[in-house]
Chain A
Amino acid sequence: MDLELPSRALAFRDELRGWLRDNIRRPWREELRDPAATEDSLIALRREWQAKLYRAGYLGMDWPAEWGGRGATEVEKSIFEAEVALADAPTILNTLGIGLLGPALIHHGSEEQRRRFIPPMLDGSEIWCQGFSEPGSGSDLASLKTSAVLDGDHFVLNGQKVWTTFGPWADWIFVLCRTDPKDRYNGISFLLCKLDTPGVTVRPLRQITGESEFGEVFFEDARVPKENLVGKIGEGWRIAMTVLAYERGAVSLAASVRFGRDLELLVDTCRTQGRLTGAVREKLARLLVDNEVMKANGVRTLANFADGKVPGPESSIEKIYWSEFDKRFRDTALDVLGAGGQLLRQSPGARPDVDWAREYLWSRAGTIYSGSSEVQRNIIAKRVLGLPQA
């Protein structure tokens, strides 16, 4: 047992820390907290930040050198996420492109597809959204109905996607669509579709935060060139599942850093308000302990990566842990801050440090997206505990 970072990883961390120190204009929470910030200005900032990271060689670090890679390991990728969280850097814009589609193209795409799509994905000139969920097909994703029918050298797409993150400002969408209505899993294919294709309509959906980070996408006889099929017809489900498994990393480590920082700020506020007593103290202590356990889970995953172990279905534990903690933390924050915790950032009197009201509302999303807590518990029950089918 050895939980010390290897020297190569330490060198990478130190180099990255220096770069982040020199390149972050101001902490992301301050950008978010700025009363003058708009959805558009924040998106522009994230695009600019992504381009900066790309130029410095910090995106797609584990991809082949040809596609911007630097032979980075999962350990360095996880350190990157933790350091970016520690430095409170903006989040990049093309998270779904780089996190999901990039690996899909590298593992399952054609050479032409890689050449065409990867460079603009990395530099932020083409933003991707993910067309998976449909009305009626969320947790039960394989029941999806959006159809793609081959007509000459085009697929004709019909159907609807929903909860499409980044839909309202993306340029492209990767779509899971049905090419065989009779085969639940092997009847699904993976298509790339430009959002200004005739027959494609994007409608923003307003979220409980008031923002429209997600939307719905309608396909009405939208024609997608055949060469935009990733893999073969009927391989879509398998590609999607391997790619989702790729979206792992030691997420708990970065999450514990981010929560830890906000927790410190909450404690500072409580101290200033003379609230660091009795019941409030105990609540804060439990959050502190739970966050430290999250960190321990993250360190364990990181060490397993370094030891050449690829996480399996037990990584669902990490997803449940951080997302459920997020809700507990933000609930408690509003609870101990009192009524002032509910002030919107543009309101007189709002806290200058963290936009607590927005964080509170956002915390409701984490236990739903990327496989709800219920889906994660099903995965653990079946694939880790080996319990019988319900």
Chain B
Amino acid sequence: MKFELSDDQQLLRNTTRDFLAKDAPLEKSRRIMEHDPRGIEAPQWRQLADMGFVGLLVPESAGGQGLGPIELAVVCEEVGRVALPGPLLDAILAGAALSAAGGQDALLKDVAAGTKLVTIARADSPFAGTATEVTRFQDGRVRGRKYFVPFAATADAFVVVTPDGLALATPPFTVTPVQTIDLAQRFAEVTFDQTAARLGPTSLLEHVDRLAAVGAAAMLLGLMTRCLEMTLEYVQTRVAFSKPIGAFQALQHRLSDMLLRAESTRSAVYRAAWCLATNAPDTALACATAKAYAGDAARLVCGEAIQMHGGIGFTWELDLHVFVKRAKTLEAHYGSTEERLEEALAAAGW
């Protein structure tokens, strides 16, 4: 029994961290976020693919790494630590969906190589609640409008989720980009009215949704850990009333609570990843728990980080807001907190 990562997993963590430190520093990421309308830079995306991150969960036979949920958590945590922009998690999840469907090895090879981008088109309504119109997939034709489709302006194909099953839709689409607070993520509305290939029943997504919970929660963990580190640095250097503000108990106690949230998130994320990897009986509840808790925890930790930085924390210049905004996206997507709470209730039989 061991909570620490295995040697291989530790190696993956170190390699990922080193790579991101060198090739995805925040100055560069902010340039992509703020100036590239597509929010993704081709050479960087190719590098991520070369490192094996995009095809992380894709079987080796289809050009991927064939790794599992624990490795997903490791990579996503590191990606969160640097607030990496782009569709990495979206592509990984679409890869998992295509792998689950089977028969998509040619496309998966391109996905893993970074030459084709596929994401999942899911939401039938821009706001929470019952959609007035639902995208259908009947007689080989997918018809309807999807909202908040990740990186739709760049994607080559979509896994479209409908009550009639999963469809693989390829161009042309009508794509209307939307703008959100998060600069690192791009979304668009996509209108479908075309023939599409059937991937399989929606039940294929059960496992993908759990991976989404683990991946997003791990990213939230990385984001909040980094925010806490930046804040700890700041409160020890910023002097007020003749001492570093980190000497004030009013801040110390709140910083302790931030650590409590971050470390508890770490326990929940890696336990969920392990449960999913080993198909443990607690898997459904553990995954729902990790995502629901991580969303709340990140909101608190990143929010406190801004508060403790004071005025500078409210500036565009400082990087903190990038983390706060990333966290907000992750909170609302990949199974929103509310949806994950419902899932937890269902898993407990309540």
Residues of A in contact with B (beta carbons under 8 Å apart): 1-6, 9, 75, 267, 271, 276, 281-282, 284-286, 288-290, 292-294, 296-297, 299-300, 302-304, 306-307, 314, 317, 320-321, 374, 376-378, 380-382, 384-385, 387-390
Residue among A276, A285, A320, A388 making CB contact with B247, cutoff 8 Å: A388
6 A-B residue pairs with Cβ-Cβ distance under 8 Å, sorted by A, are A1-B3, A75-B1, A285-B341, A285-B344, A321-B264, A388-B236
Known: A289-B292, A297-B267. 15 other contacts (CB 8 A): A1-B3, A282-B341, A288-B285, A289-B344, A293-B289, A296-B286, A304-B4, A317-B260, A321-B264, A378-B252, A387-B232, A387-B235, A387-B246, A388-B236, A389-B247
Chain B minimum-CB-distance residue to A268: B350
| A381 and B255 form a contact (CB under 8 A) | yes
Q: Interface residues of B: mostly helix, strand, loop or mixed? A: helix
Q: How many B residues have CB within 8 A of the partner chain? A: 49
B22 at the interface (CB under 8 A from A): no
- Scan B177-204; emit 1 where CB is below 8 A from any A CB, else 0: 0000000000000000000000000000
Q: How far is the CA of A306 from the CA of B2 in the complex (A)?
A: 7
A388 to B274 alpha-carbon distance, docked (Å): 37
Nearest 6 pairs between A and B by C-beta?
A381-B252, A306-B1, A380-B256, A296-B267, A285-B341, A303-B3
Closest Cβ of chain B: how far from A178's Cβ, in Å? 27
Chain A residue nearest to B274 in the complex (CB): A3
- B1-48 with Cβ < 8 A to chain A: 1-6, 9
Partner of B253, one of A2, A4, A271, A374: A374
Cβ contact within 8 Å between B3 and A390: no
Q: For the complex, what is the distance from the CA of A11 to the CA of B293, rounded to whole Å? A: 33
Q: What B residues does A314 contact at CB under 8 A?
A: 263
**Are the CB atoms of A288 and B268 closer together than 8 Å?**
no
Residues of A within 8 A of B146 (CB): none
Q: Mark B243-261, 1 if CB is under 8 A from A, else 0.
A: 1101111001101110110
Given contacts A3-B3, A3-B274, contact A390 B344 (CB under 8 A): no
Distance between Cα atoms of A387 and B259 in the complex (Å): 13
Q: Please determine whether A388 and B267 come into contact, CB atoms closer than 8 angstroms.
A: no
Please, how many angstroms separate the alpha-carbon atoms of A6 and B2 in the complex? 10
**Of the candidates A1, A9, A281, A317, which one forms a contact with B70 in the assembled complex, judged by CB atoms under 8 Å apart?**
A1
Query: Separation in Å of the A329 CB from the closest CB of chain B?
Result: 15
- Residues of chain B within 8 A of A6, CB atoms compared: 1
Question: CA of A2 to CA of B271 in the docked complex: distance in angstroms?
Answer: 9
Instruction: Identify the closest chain A residue to B235 (Cβ).
Output: A387
Please give the distance in Å from A30's CB to the nearest CB on chain B: 23
- Residues of chain B lying within 8 A (CB to CB) of residue A1: 2-6, 9, 70, 270, 273-274
Residues of A within 8 A of B5 (CB): 1
Pair B350/A390 contact, Cβ less than 8 Å: no
| Contact, CB under 8 Å: B259 / A317 | yes
Q: Which chain A residue shows the least CB distance to B278?
A: A4
Chain A residues contacting B265 (CB-CB under 8 Å) are: 293
A9 to B289, CA, bound (A): 26
Q: Does B348 contact A (CB under 8 A)?
A: yes
Q: A378-B252, A389-B247 are in contact. Are A288 and B1 (CB under 8 A)?
A: no
CA distance A374 to B268 in the complex (A): 25
- Chain A residues with Cβ under 8 A from B266's Cβ? 300
Q: Which of A296, A299, A300 contacts B289 (CB 8 A)?
A: A296
B285's partner among A281, A292, A304 (CB-CB below 8 A) is: A292
Given contacts A292-B268, A306-B2, A390-B248, contact A381 B341 (CB under 8 A): no
CB distance B1 to A302 under 8 Å? yes
Residue of B nearest to A379 (CB): B256
- Which chain B residues numbered 329 to 350 have a C-beta less than 8 Å away from chain A? 341-342, 344-345, 348, 350
Residues of B within 8 A of A390 (CB): 247-249, 252
A317 to B252, CA, bound (A): 14
B271 cross-chain contacts in A, Cβ below 8 A: 3, 296, 299-300
A380 to B258, CA, bound (A): 11
> Is the C-beta of B288 less than 8 angstroms from some C-beta in chain A?
yes
CB distance from B72 to the nearest CB of A (A): 13
Q: A1-B70, A296-B289 are in contact. Are A385 and B259 (CB under 8 A)?
A: yes
Check if B263 sits within 8 Å of A288, measured CB to CB. Answer: no
Residue of B nearest to A284 (CB): B350
Residues of B within 8 A of A2 (CB): 1-2, 274
Q: How far is the CA of A26 from the CA of B107 in the complex (A)?
A: 61
Interface centre among B235, B256, B257, B268 (most CB of A within 10 A): B256
Chain A residues with Cβ below 8 Å from B6 are 1
Task: State whether B257 touches A377 (Cβ < 8 A).
Answer: yes
Q: When A296-B286, A303-B2 are in contact, do A381 and B253 touch as well, CB less than 8 Å?
A: yes
A307 pairs with B2, CB closer than 8 A: yes
How distant is B97 from chain A, measured CB to nearest CB, in Å?
Answer: 25
B2 near A296 (CB under 8 angstroms)? no
Nearest to B271 among chain A residues (CB) is: A296
B344 touches A288 (CB 8 A): yes
Q: Which of B1, B260, B264 has the most CB of A within 10 A?
A: B1
Chain A residues within 8 Å of B350, by CB: 267, 271, 276, 281, 284-285, 288
Q: How far is the CA of A121 from the CA of B232 in the complex (A)?
A: 46
Q: A306-B2, A381-B255 are in contact. Are A292 and B264 (CB under 8 A)?
A: no
A387 vs B288: C-alpha distance when bound (angstroms):
34
- Give chain A nearest CB distance to B5 CB in angstroms: 6
Closest to B272 in A: A296
Scoring A6, A286, A387 by chain B CB atoms within 10 A of each residue's CB, the highest score goes to A387
Which A residue sits closest to B3, measured CB to CB?
A: A303
Residues of B within 8 A of A377 (CB): 252-253, 256-257
Instruction: Provide the bound-state CA to CA distance between A3 and B6, in Å.
Output: 12
B1–A293 contact, CB under 8 A?
no
User: When the two chains form the complex, which single residue of A5, A288, A307, A317 contacts B345, counting CB atoms closer than 8 Å?
Assistant: A288
Interface centre among A4, A281, A378, A390 (most CB of B within 10 A): A390
